[in-house]
Amino acid sequence: MGESADGQGGAPARTYDIQAVLNALPHRYPMLLVDRVASLNVGENIHAVKAVTFNEGFFQGHFPGRPIMPGVLIIEALAQAAAILAIETLSLAGSGKLVYFMAIEGAKFRVPVEPGCLLDLHVGFLQQRARVCKFRGKAMLEGKLACEVSFTAMIADAPA
C-alpha cells in the first residue's frame, strides 16, 4: 500500500495494489472485480480500477460475437470498491466483518463495457452509520459514464 497526495490539502489519499485489495476483500477469482485502488480518501470516496479482459468467464456467454460485461457485474465492481472504502473508514480490517448489499437504486447503464477497457470505479458515501452505509457510484470508461447507481450496504458478521 503506497500513498499519494490527494490534492485537496487533507490527509494523503491511499493507493492499493492487487495484494492490498486481496487483503481488504474476501472475494477471489472469478468474483474479485477490483484490480487496484488509485485513490482512497477515508470517510469520503474511492477511485478503484477494474481491467476488463476477454479471458473472463462471463464473456463466453454474454454475448458470443459481441462480448459485453453484464450490468450486474459492473454494479458488483462498484460495490466491492465501496466495501474497501467502508472497511477502511470504519477500521474493520481484520475484524472478519463483511459488507452485504441491502438495496440497489436508480441503476442506469449508458455505455457498454467491453474487453480491453479500464473501468474506473468512483464511489462516495451518501450516508454513513455504524452498521449501514449508503453510497453513490459511477463507472467510467475513458471519461464517459458507463453506469451510475446508488446502493445501500450493511456491515455484519460473516456467516458461521
Residue 82 C-alpha cell reads as 465501496
Catalytic residue among 27, 47, 62, 122: 62
122 is catalytic: no
Q: What does DSSP say about strands 132-141 and 45-51: parallel, antiparallel, or unpaired?
A: unpaired
Strand ranges of the sheet holding 118-128, from the earlier edge strand across to the other edge:
2-4, 13-16, 36-41, 45-51, 118-128, 132-141, 144-157, 97-109
CB 123 within 8 A of CB 85: yes
Residue 14 and residue 37 in contact, taking contact as beta carbons nearer than 8 Å: yes
For residue 11, give the C-alpha cell: 490527509
Question: Which residues are the active-site residues?
Answer: 62
